[in-house]
Structure formats: C-alpha cells, structure tokens
Chains A and B, each alone.
Chain A
C-alpha cells in the first residue's frame, strides 16, 4: 500500500516539478540545479539543444560534428555550472562555450586540409540531408527550387570568413544583441557592428545573382 502511495506521489510530483521548472527563467533553473535538482539540467538541455545545434551547424557546416560539439557544450555546462557568474546571462555563457568550441573545430580543420567546410557540408547535403523539411504537397519543380535555394544560402554562409560568419549567425539566426555578441565573441561593440555590416554586404553580394 505504501509503495502504491509512494508511486502515486512520485507520478504526481514529477510533472509538477517539470512544469515549475518550465515556468522559471534560466537563472532560476540554474539555481535549482545548483541546489541539487537534477531535473533542472534536463530543462536547460531542452531549452538550448536546438538553438545551439543550429548555431554550431551554421558555423561549422557539419551536422554530426555539430551534435558532438553541442553535447560537449552541455558536458562543460554540467561540470562548471558552479563556477558560472550568476550576475550574467546564462544564454551568453552557453553561447560563448559553443562559439569557442566551434572556433576550435574550424581551427583544427584548417590544420587538416583533408576536411574542408565546403566538402563536409556538400557531402552532408547530398547524402544525409533529412527530407522532413520538404513540403511534399508542393510541385516537384518548386521543391527543387526550394532545395536549390537553400543549398545556395548555406553555401553562401559557409563562404563568409569565420569571424564574420560567427557574428552573422549570432545576429541573424539567434537574434542576439550587439552587446551579447561582443561578449560571446570577446570583441568590442565597434568590431561587432563592423563585422556584421561586412558579413551582410558579402552575403547579399554573393546571393544576389541567385535571387534576382
């Protein structure tokens, strides 16, 4: 009987805690985790996994590697969360970790000429691209056009210099403020604006012939 009651209590308590965590802001969830609530970490993972994956993927262009790096981000968060300065934004901290890991990955790749950004991305797009994003109700020529356009956009982003691409993705995809980008990329505000301006101009220049 006691077991049944305990099970019932647990099953009732589980969703309640999860709901409570979902309603909290990042800072409160971090406090919960540091207070011993392990489920708070799962909440952080749920909140950030897709956003970080897209950020890292757009930066390095390799989906599998992006997943590995995002996992590494969460491992580092788990290990070092007690050192996190809670007067700052959690999202900025987590993006800083992701940005540094992506930068290291690109640096390692540049040392190894066999693995290039474009090669990895092209292979991924040709062979492993998930098709769930395709609109199956559309006409085949529309689908082809959409896919073609997406490839061009992704290739264009990949052509941007690394430090421009990083700022560009953080601003256009993640919607980060200039100040946050400056903190994440460890640059001053002027540099961020300048890089963003150049990245936008370069991107528009490259893609313009395909769009017009």
Chain B
C-alpha cells in the first residue's frame, strides 16, 4: 500500500514507514537513544531522497523530544539553566550546520556528504557500543566489578565565566555546555538527528550532571535544536512533508512507549551488543549503497500540482506560497502531537495506578 508524498515527490510504502518508525521507536525507548541515526538511513533506503529524509526526521525528533520532555517536566527531572546554556551553543551550531548544508547543496555534493556522515557516525557508535557491550558481558561472566571515576577533569573544566547550576549542584564554566551545544547543533543540522548520543555521554562524563536529570535535560535541548533545524529546512528548501512527518511521529511515539515498558523488565546488556551489530550492518548497507550500487534517477517524478488529491494539493501549495507559515505549522503540529502523547501516557499511568490500588 503506497502513499504519495507531495513535497518529497516519491511514493513510499505506508506499512513500511509505520513499522520501521515503530521498531526504531521501540529501540529508542529501550536504550534511551533518539533513534534519528537509524531512522534517517532507513528512510533513504525506502526511497526518500537524503535531503528530505534529514529534514523530516528532524521534525519527527521534535515531536518525540517534546513528548519525552513533557513527561520529565511532570516528574520534575529537568535542569532548565544547564539546558538553556547548551541551547545557546546549539543555536550557533545549528546555524553553522545549515550554512554547511547549504554550501554542499550548492556544489551538488550534499547527498554524498550525508551518506558519508552516517556511515562514519554509525561505524563509530557501533564500534564503541560493541566493544563496551562485549566488555560488560565478559565482566559479568568473570564476575569482575570495576570502580569507575565519577568525574575526570579535562581542559574544558579550566575555562572562565564559572556559574552555579543549583539543580545539578555544579559550579562550572558557562563555556562547557555552550561548546557541547555547538557540536550537537552542527551535527543535528547536517544529519537530521537529535544528537542525544553525543549529548548524554558529554553530560555524564564532561559536565558531570546527576544521572536522573540527564534524559529530561537532553530532550529539552533537543526540542530547541530540532525546532531550528525543522524551521530552516522548511524555509530554505521547502523539504518538510507533513504526510511523512505524521506517519513517522505516530509510529515512533507508539514504539517509544512500548520500548520504555520493555526496558523496565529486561536486562539490556546483551541487547546493547545486538544494537551495535545492527548499527554496523546499517553502516555497511549505506557503504554499499554509496560506493557500489547503481544510482538510478527514477525516484524524482515531475508532478502536476492540479493532479494531486485535495490534502496533498493543500500541503504542496502551502509550502510553496507560504513557507514561513508552513514551517511554523509543521513545528506546531509536532509539538501538539508530542504533548498530547505525554498527557495520554500520564492519563493511562494514573488509571493503572488507581486500578491496582483498588485491587490491593
């Protein structure tokens, strides 16, 4: 069952998109990663051109990070001050990333740059996770317990303009979160990912934040970064496709909830190794697609706006005639879906507690 995407101008399998976004959502919920670094390559394999895959996945990440962040706001596990400092760097990083994206798009190399960036990021994360996962399995088998240093001091901790972050109980240079935000924003803009896989380790090992505040703060930062990425992609290239975004958001929000439930009851050490293998396999598939596969240019279909169905026609015309309004609408759409999902989850969680109380 295929559906035509009016902005990306390709037909995609609706069940394929739903199932993949659901599976990636489950993995996100299970391992606490954003999942953008898996979903964007999958979209490319499904026939969505890389430029559109990056932009639409950024919009999807906005919805999932709003949903997750609202849940953490309701639990009061969020450090706004630290988050806003990272966002300051994130804004500059995103602008720099979009500028780089525009440069490579201008010289016609953007697709190869996106593919290469994914290949290397997947190879780095996959290798690191595989080595760590195997090490953990090895230690568990030999029953070795190692004490890790909680906070190692790097040159970044000696920077000036120190300030107090009372919620995280830290006294640290404002430049530390700003520099981290700059790197995350740059990568997010080029690759259409939230950047949690960089942000979370940086928050633990470099900033030294308490673990309970990390997921909420990371998601809070991702909201701002993905808003800028989505808006700039919508405004500059008109590449946000609301039909694709709706499918991605619905699939991933349901998947994340299922993944989080699974995560509460199973040991994820062995699964981490499997995820690492999956990342490396996706990396190999991208490498094959980039280096060896014949690139048939049959995905781009010239369409007549008047032959589309009313919804597609409305989306297409809105994106062409009012790009700012369209960009703002796509952001609002993701935020509403994200907040709605968080409140639905809260409602069901309260209902379950009430029901179990009654039984007890």
Are A and B co-members of a single complex? no
Identify the A interface with B (CB < 8 A).
none
Identify the B interface with A (CB < 8 A).
none
